[in-house]
Structure 1
Amino acid sequence: SFARALKRLLKWERFDIVHGNAEEAFFASDIVRNFKAGYLFTSHANMIPETGMIRGMLRPLNFLKNLNNYLLRSSAYNASRIITLSEFSRKLILKGLRKKKGKRVMVVSPGIDPGWFEVQRQAEGSRDLVLWGRMEEQKGIPELLRTLKEVAGRIPEVRLHLIGEGNMTESYRKQAEHLGVLDRVIFHGWMDVSAIQKFIAKCAVGVFPSRIESFGLSMAEAMGAGLPIVATRVGALPEFIEDRVTGTLVPPGNIPALYRAILEKLENPERAQALADAGRETVRQRFSWDQSAREMTKIYQAVLEEL
């Protein structure tokens, strides 16, 4: 088990800091305390939920979900520092912890693969839209498919490329068929990072109509590649996408606004690319692994000083 493995490691080696991720780190704080090491926790969720353990025991089908919430909450609550990926997530985590850990919840944005900055755009005349990520409902793909039908009425040669896997793929295929746009939608499935980087160089616009985003890695990658993007004004996205400066933001679920934004990108490619170039520079400055490492090093040093 994780607990036994951690105990063995701490006996064999002297660790100054143990950095936990997700609910699997539940046992770490108590074990680490006995060995006088610092303990940090990174939350990849956009919140720390209430546990509902008592209610969960009364409803067995919900017990495992509530147990998972309990482990996640305990892992975070016992940490000397809680690391999250965005200011949006930080606020939700503080709300979930009832602001008891205010000064200890810190934002460290992840870096992105340097290969994104090396993408050479070859999209002249392209009418291809692209989205990559998990094929799940929160990515707003149902709205995108409905918008695609409207865009096709204006630009018949438009196509949509969906890259990624998920349990909603077949549902989206059926929706596209029902809307009469299946011949315009290409489901690529999983692709490795280098293949995505090569593929999107020839696409006109990245479209990400998410309903929620705790960070928005695909959007940051798209901007790093110099790809014009349309995204939604949700979650952490407005923290690094400035509307009509580095990209275009629309309200979530607003199909007319999404339609207008996509059309504007396709019909004004020079303007779209100018925004994309500004976005690329923003991401280059904010989301490098060197920057993330410097910020994390400062946090580690602060934790060590408290031991």
Structure 2
Amino acid sequence: MNRSLIQDEIKVRAVGGWKLKILLLCWEYPPNVVGGLSRHVHGLGVHLANQGHEVHILTAGNGNLPSEEIVDDVRIHRVTPINDLDDDFLSWVGGLNLAMAFKAEMLSDEINFDLIHAHDWLIGAAAIHLKNSLGIPLLTTIHATEHGRSNGTLNQWQKFIHEKECQLIEHSDHIIVCSEYMKETLLSVFAAANEPIAVIPNGIDEPIVKFRAGDLFPELNGKKFIFSVGRMVKEKGFETIIEAAEISRETNQDYFFLIGGKGPMLDSYQKMITEKDLQDYISFAGYLSDEQKNALLADCELAVFPSLYEPFGIVALEAMVHGKATIVSNTGGLKGIIKHEYSGLLMEPGDARSMLEQIAFLSHHPRMSAEIGNNGRDVVKSLYGWKRIACETARVMEDVVLKSRINEEMEPENQMIRRYGK
């Protein structure tokens, strides 16, 4: 590409006319939902497509979904991992990356992609390979780190994932993280001071509430409840809510906690409730559809998210956009979302009594609780709408592509300078 063409592209971009062809890699994508990653990629992909960009999602299939389809103007390509039936997760991941790389190279015969956008380490090998084989830049969003989830990298599994994260960061032309906390993590844990890093928060859409909580959960009719939701893993801090429920029983406080979500620790949490005889104070609802979750968020008294580790905290935004007073741990990305006693309340991570103090404050000050809920909703709508987040991401993408093309154009001159001097 010559310089005049690059200058033309700069002019097109300046008037908002530059439309990119984006190859977006993510191991999960709706309706195949494992965690919050798929929802983030869905929101971003749809809104980038709404802006006129050509968005191709390359993801894992589950055997029941079509291999190719267009949904909300997003082109979805699903692949079957080569080791699809392998019980070893790392073998499955390796097979997924091989299948993704093969599929992307087939697509590139017909589509001239402008860049690759990778999401987390699971698809890192394919992303790095495609950057080199297709000769296009690689933008990576790091949503979380193994060091943060596990509070270090102690065993071989954790060290392996950490190494893969390091490789992906090193080979990326630009990094996006969802919070200043995550940026600090990359700078300290990954020594990424020389990597260009943009902070762009997760986005959220306006909720659609079709049902009341009592319609879907008759046992909640006429009952006040405190709601939480998340993946059933240790870092989400749900044991803190169980401890709070125990203290509530001992102190005769009339609180009932309802927790939604699935994950590896769900059975042990439910067993813990039975063993402690806390059924009248806390319940784990298991997997919730979006309709169920929105109904519960709309009708709960307040929401609480006691995470021990949280790079961002999209669930907090989901509660706040409903106008609910929301309590979050004073850690990670959560503390960057909430301004204490203005848009929510902060509790000490892992401290059940601190949680109960915040709950009591809201219970005893209903007018202030409503005001905090309204403030939180206003903050979410003004700062975290997907349209705005997609625009910020598109600007980063344009910068990455333009820089890559300028470097490509300048490379022959740079080679001459290195060979013969100025």
TM over 0.5: yes
- Kindly indicate whether residue 391 of structure 2 is the aligned counterpart of residue 294 of structure 1: yes
CA distance 1:135–1:185, shift in 2 (3 Å):
same
**Contact kept in structure 2, 1:27 and 1:75, CA below 8 Å:** no
Match of 1:107 in 2: 199
Match of 2:296 in 1: 199
CA-CA distance at 1:278 after TM superposition? 0.4
**Contact kept in structure 2, 1:139 and 1:209, CA below 8 Å:** yes
- Cα distance in 2, alignment partners of residues 221 and 277 from structure 1: 13
CA distance 1:129–1:218, shift in 2 (3 Å):
same
- Kindly indicate whether residue 170 of structure 2 is the aligned counterpart of residue 77 of structure 1: yes
Q: State which of 251, 255, 266 in structure 1 corresponds to 2:352.
A: 255
Aligned with 1:231: secondary structure?
Answer: strand
CA-CA distance at 1:93 after TM superposition? 1.2
CA-CA distance at 1:153 after TM superposition? 4.7
Aligned with 1:115: secondary structure?
Answer: coil
Match of 2:411 in 1: none
Match of 1:279 in 2: 376
Amino acid at match of 1:142: E
The alignment-based identity, stated in percent, is 21
CA distance 1:26–1:267, shift in 2 (3 Å):
same
Match of 2:107 in 1: 9
CA-CA distance at 1:180 after TM superposition? 3.1
**Contact kept in structure 1, 2:226 and 2:304, CA below 8 Å:** yes
- Cα distance in 2, alignment partners of residues 292 and 117 from structure 1: 23
Aligned with 2:243: secondary structure?
Answer: helix
- Cα distance in 1, alignment partners of residues 272 and 213 from structure 2: 31
Equivalent residues in 2 for 1:17-96 (5 A)?
A: 17-23=115-121, 24-46=123-145, 62=156, 65-96=158-189
Deviates more, 1:40-49 or 1:133-142: 40-49
CA-CA distance at 1:118 after TM superposition? 9.8
CA-CA distance at 1:151 after TM superposition? 2.7
Deviations 1:110-131 (A, max 9, x none): 21132169999999x8631111
Unaligned stretches of 5+ in structure 2?
1-97, 215-219, 406-422
Match of 1:210 in 2: 307
Q: TM-score, normalising length from structure 2? A: 0.64
- Cα distance in 1, alignment partners of residues 336 and 161 from structure 2: 29
**Contact kept in structure 1, 2:235 and 2:309, CA below 8 Å:** yes
CA distance 1:65–1:156, shift in 2 (3 Å):
closer
- Cα distance in 1, alignment partners of residues 283 and 347 from structure 2: 24
Q: TM-score, normalising length from structure 1? A: 0.87
Amino acid at match of 1:165: K
Aligned with 2:328: secondary structure?
Answer: strand
CA-CA distance at 1:289 after TM superposition? 0.5
**Contact kept in structure 2, 1:164 and 1:189, CA below 8 Å:** yes
Equivalent residues in 2 for 1:126-275 (5 A)?
A: 127-153=224-250, 156-275=253-372
Deviations 1:250-270 (A, max 9, x none): 111222221111122223222
Aligned with 1:234: secondary structure?
Answer: coil
Deviations 1:240-283 (A, max 9, x none): 10111111101112222211111222232222111111011111
CA-CA distance at 1:21 after TM superposition? 1.6
Match of 1:52 in 2: none
- Cα distance in 2, alignment partners of residues 156 and 256 from structure 1: 12
Aligned with 1:131: secondary structure?
Answer: strand
CA distance 1:172–1:30, shift in 2 (3 Å):
closer
| Aligned length in residues | 296
CA-CA distance at 1:65 after TM superposition? 4.4
Amino acid at match of 2:387: D
- Cα distance in 1, alignment partners of residues 369 and 204 from structure 2: 22
- Cα distance in 1, alignment partners of residues 289 and 138 from structure 2: 33
